[in-house]
Amino acid sequence: MGEKTNTENHASGTDRPKAPDMTPDSIKESGADSSDSDGMDSIIGEFLVESYENLDQLDLHLVDLEKTPTDKKLLSSIFRTIHTIKGTCGFLGFSKLESIAHVGENLLSKLRDGELLLNAEITNGLLAMVDAIRQILNSIETSRNEGDMVYTALVETLTRLNQGEKASVPAPVVAKPSAPAEQPAAAVPSPASAPAPVAEEKPAEPATLEDMLPARKEDRRTGTRDAEFLTEHSDRRAGADRRNEGGRGVAETSIRVDVNLLDKLMNLVGELVLARNQILQYSPAERDSTFVASAQTLNLITTELQEGVMKTRMQPIGNVWDKFPRVVRDLAQACGKQVRLEMEGKETELDKTLIEAIKDPLTHIVRNSVDHGIELPDKRLEKGKPTEGRLLLRAFHEGGQVNIEITDDGGGIDPERVKAKALEKNLISRDQASRMSDREVVNLIFLPGFSTAEKVTNVSGRGVGMDVVKTNIEKIGGTVDIQGLPGVGTTLKVKIPLTLAIIPALIVTCGGNRYAIPQVSLLELVRLDGEEAKTRVEMIQGTPVYRLRGNLLPLVYLDRELKTKRTESDDSAINIVVLQADDRQFGLVVEGISDTEEIVVKPLSKQLKGITAYAGSTIMGDGKVALILDVMGLAQRARVVREGRERAGLDQGQKAREAAGDMQTLLVLGIGDSRMAIPLSMVARLEEFKQSELERSGDQDMVQYRGEIMPLIYLNKTFRPGESVTQSDPMQAVVYTDGGRSVGLVVDRILDIVEEQIKVKRSAKRSGVLGTIVVQGRVTDMIDVEGIIRSSDPTFFDRAATAVALEAR
Amino acid sequence: MADEKQFCTFYLDNLFFGVEVLTVQEVFRYQEMTTAPLAPPVVKGLINLRGQIITAIDLRKRLELPERPEGKLPMNVVVRTSDGVVSLLVDEIGDVLEAPAEAFERSPDTVNGVTRELIKGVYKLKDSLLLILDTEKASQVETGSARESET
For residues A193-209, average pLDDT: 42
Chain B nearest C-alpha distance from A267 (Å): 7
The whole-number pLDDT of residue A802 equals: 53
The whole-number pLDDT of residue B18 equals: 93
Distance CA(B79)–CA(A188), nearest Å, equals 55
The whole-number pLDDT of residue A77 equals: 81
Share of chain A above pLDDT 70, in %: 74
| SS3 per residue for A144-211 | CCCCCCCCHHHHHHHHHHHCCCCCCCCCCCCCCCCCCCCCCCCCCCCHHHCCCCHHHCCCCCCCHHHH
Q: Report the candidate in A330, A426, A333 with the shortest Cα–Cα distance to residue A377.
A: A333
Residue B67 burial class via C-beta count within 10 angstroms: exposed 0-12, middle 13-18, buried 19 and up: exposed
Mean pLDDT comparison of A24-38, A397-411, A755-769, highest-scoring range: A397-411
Nearest CB among A613, A617, A623 relative to B46 is that of A617
Query: Has domain A662-808 been given CATH number 3.20.20.70?
Result: no
Chain A nearest C-alpha distance from B45 (Å): 9
For residues A421-437, average pLDDT: 77
Residues in a beta bridge with A494: A404, A480
For residues A447-473, average pLDDT: 57
Chain A nearest C-alpha distance from B124 (Å): 33
Instruction: Tell me the pLDDT tens digit for each residue of A291-345.
Output: 888 888 988 898 888 878 877 878 888 888 888 888 888 888 888 888 888 999 8
A227 SS3 class = helix
- Total number of domains constituting chain B: 1
CB-based contact A620:A596 (threshold 8 Å): no
Q: What is the CATH number of the domain that holds B123?
A: 2.40.50.180
The whole-number pLDDT of residue A448 equals: 67
Residue A805 burial class via C-beta count within 10 angstroms: exposed 0-12, middle 13-18, buried 19 and up: exposed
Q: Which CATH architecture has domain A259-315?
A: Orthogonal Bundle (1.10)
* pLDDT confidence band for A250 (50 / 70 / 90): very low
pLDDT at B27 over 70: yes
Residue A282 burial class via C-beta count within 10 angstroms: exposed 0-12, middle 13-18, buried 19 and up: exposed
Chain A nearest C-alpha distance from B89 (Å): 15
For residues B47-69, average pLDDT: 88
Helix (H) or strand (E) holding A132: helix A120-143
Instruction: Tell me the pLDDT tens digit for each residue of A85-136.
Output: 877 777 777 777 888 888 888 888 888 777 777 777 888 888 888 888 888 8
Maximum Cα–Cα distance for chain B, whole Å? 50
The number of residues in chain B equals 151
Chain B nearest C-alpha distance from A689 (Å): 42
The whole-number pLDDT of residue A450 equals: 67
For residues A523-551, average pLDDT: 83
> Could you tell me how far CA B49 lies from the centroid of its own chain?
18
Distance CA(A96)–CA(A85), nearest Å, equals 12
Q: Do B53 and A602 touch (CB under 8 A)?
A: yes
Chain A nearest C-alpha distance from B46 (Å): 6
Does the CB of B106 have a partner CB in chain A at under 8 Å?
Answer: no
- Residues 485-524 on A with a CB inside 8 Å of B are 511, 513-514
Q: Do B34 and A627 touch (CB under 8 A)?
A: yes
Of the given ranges (A262-276, A438-452, B28-42), which has the lowest mean pLDDT? A438-452
Share of chain B above pLDDT 70, in %: 91
Distance CA(A488)–CA(A479), nearest Å, equals 23
A466-475 vs A352-368: helix crossing angle, rounded to 10: 160
The whole-number pLDDT of residue A109 equals: 80
Does the CB of B67 have a partner CB in chain A at under 8 Å?
Answer: no
pLDDT at A457 over 70: no
The whole-number pLDDT of residue A446 equals: 78
Nearest CB among B38, B43, B53 relative to A619 is that of B53
User: Which residues of B fall within a CB distance of 8 Å from A270?
Assistant: 51
Residue B148 is assigned to a structural domain of this protein: no
Of the given ranges (A39-53, A179-193, A376-390, A509-523), which has the lowest mean pLDDT? A179-193
pLDDT at A72 over 50: yes
Residue B40 is assigned to a structural domain of this protein: yes
Average pLDDT of chain A is: 72
* pLDDT confidence band for A239 (50 / 70 / 90): very low
Which CATH class name applies to A16-181+218-244?
Answer: mainly alpha
DSSP one-letter code for B34: B
Whether omega before A730 lies within 30 degrees of 0, making that bond cis, reads yes
Residues of chain A with CATH 1.20.120.160: 16-181+218-244
* pLDDT confidence band for A141 (50 / 70 / 90): confident
* pLDDT confidence band for A64 (50 / 70 / 90): confident
The whole-number pLDDT of residue A245 equals: 43
Q: Do A563 and B33 touch (CB under 8 A)?
A: no
Separation in Å, CA A85 to CA A254, A620, A624, B67? 22, 53, 57, 74
ipTM value for the complex:
0.86
Sheet with B24-28, edge to edge strand ranges: B24-28, B75-81, B84-90, B52-58, B43-49
A696 SS3 class = strand
Does the CB of B141 have a partner CB in chain A at under 8 Å?
Answer: yes
Instruction: Tell me the pLDDT tens digit for each residue of A147-186.
Output: 777 777 788 887 887 776 554 444 444 444 444 444 444 4
Minimum Cα–Cα distance from A558: chain B residue: B37
Distance CA(B104)–CA(B109), nearest Å, equals 15
Does the CB of B49 have a partner CB in chain A at under 8 Å?
Answer: no
pLDDT at A253 over 50: yes
Instruction: Tell me the pLDDT tens digit for each residue of A607-654.
Output: 887 788 888 888 887 778 999 998 888 888 887 765 433 333 334 434
Residue B113 is assigned to a structural domain of this protein: yes
pLDDT at B54 over 70: yes
Share of chain B above pLDDT 90, in %: 36
Which has more confidence, A1 or A778?
A778
Distance CA(A518)–CA(A438), nearest Å, equals 30
* pLDDT confidence band for A760 (50 / 70 / 90): low
Distance CA(B17)–CA(A734), nearest Å, equals 69
User: Which residues of A fall within a CB distance of 8 Å from B83?
Assistant: 605-607
The whole-number pLDDT of residue A183 equals: 41
Q: Do B46 and A563 touch (CB under 8 A)?
A: no
Minimum Cα–Cα distance from B47: chain A residue: A625
Residue B20 is assigned to a structural domain of this protein: yes
Does the CB of B39 have a partner CB in chain A at under 8 Å?
Answer: yes
Share of chain A above pLDDT 90, in %: 4
CB-based contact B122:B105 (threshold 8 Å): yes
B-interface mutation test, from A601, A605, A614, A627, most B Cβ less than 10 A away: A605
Distance CA(B69)–CA(A276), nearest Å, equals 37
pLDDT at A662 over 60: no
CB-based contact A519:A504 (threshold 8 Å): yes
Q: Do B55 and A626 touch (CB under 8 A)?
A: no
Separation in Å, CA A219 to CA A24, A111, A216? 45, 34, 9
Chain A nearest C-alpha distance from B136 (Å): 12
User: Which residues of B fall within a CB distance of 8 Å from A610?
Assistant: 142-144, 147
Q: How many CB pairs under 8 A join A and B?
A: 82
Chain A nearest C-alpha distance from B41 (Å): 11
Residue B136 is assigned to a structural domain of this protein: yes
The whole-number pLDDT of residue A501 equals: 63
Does the CB of A277 have a partner CB in chain B at under 8 Å?
Answer: no
The domain A337-497 belongs to what CATH superfamily? Answer: Histidine kinase-like ATPase, C-terminal domain (3.30.565.10)
pLDDT at A78 over 70: yes
Residue B147 is assigned to a structural domain of this protein: no
Of the given ranges (A210-214, A346-350, A555-559), which has the lowest mean pLDDT? A210-214
pLDDT at A754 over 60: yes
CATH level 3 topology of A503-656? OB fold (Dihydrolipoamide Acetyltransferase, E2P) (2.40.50)
Does the CB of A4 have a partner CB in chain B at under 8 Å?
Answer: no
Nearest CB among B35, B50, B55 relative to A605 is that of B55
Q: Do B51 and A605 touch (CB under 8 A)?
A: no
Minimum Cα–Cα distance from B54: chain A residue: A605
Range of the domain at B70: 4-142
Does the CB of B80 have a partner CB in chain A at under 8 Å?
Answer: yes
A416 SS3 class = helix
Residue B149 is assigned to a structural domain of this protein: no
Nearest CB among B45, B52, B143 relative to A609 is that of B143
Residues in a beta bridge with A514: A509
Chain B nearest C-alpha distance from A307 (Å): 18
Maximum Cα–Cα distance for chain A, whole Å? 104
Distance CA(A516)–CA(A549), nearest Å, equals 26
The whole-number pLDDT of residue B149 equals: 35
The whole-number pLDDT of residue A263 equals: 79
A225-241 vs A120-143: helix crossing angle, rounded to 10: 40
Name residue B126's amino acid: K
Instruction: Tell me the pLDDT tens digit for each residue of A671-682.
Output: 877 888 888 777
Distance CA(A635)–CA(A631), nearest Å, equals 6
pLDDT at A197 over 60: no
Please list, in sequence order, all residues whose beta carbon lies within 8 angstroms of the beta carbon of residue A802, skipping any fewer than 6 positions away.
none
The whole-number pLDDT of residue A537 equals: 83
DSSP one-letter code for A250: -
> Could you tell me how far CA A525 lies from the centroid of its own chain?
28
Q: Do B38 and A613 touch (CB under 8 A)?
A: yes
The whole-number pLDDT of residue A654 equals: 42
pLDDT at B87 over 90: yes
Q: Report the candidate in B97, B87, B111 with the shortest Cα–Cα distance to residue B33.
A: B87
For residues B72-95, average pLDDT: 91
The whole-number pLDDT of residue B23 equals: 93
Nearest CB among B40, B53, B142 relative to A605 is that of B53
The whole-number pLDDT of residue A454 equals: 38
Does the CB of B48 have a partner CB in chain A at under 8 Å?
Answer: yes
Minimum Cα–Cα distance from B146: chain A residue: A610
Of the given ranges (A497-506, A514-523, A600-609), which has the lowest mean pLDDT? A497-506
> Could you tell me how far CA A509 lies from the centroid of its own chain?
32
Q: Report the candidate in A259, A262, A280 with the shortest Cα–Cα distance to residue A270.
A: A262
pLDDT at A463 over 50: no
B110 SS3 class = coil
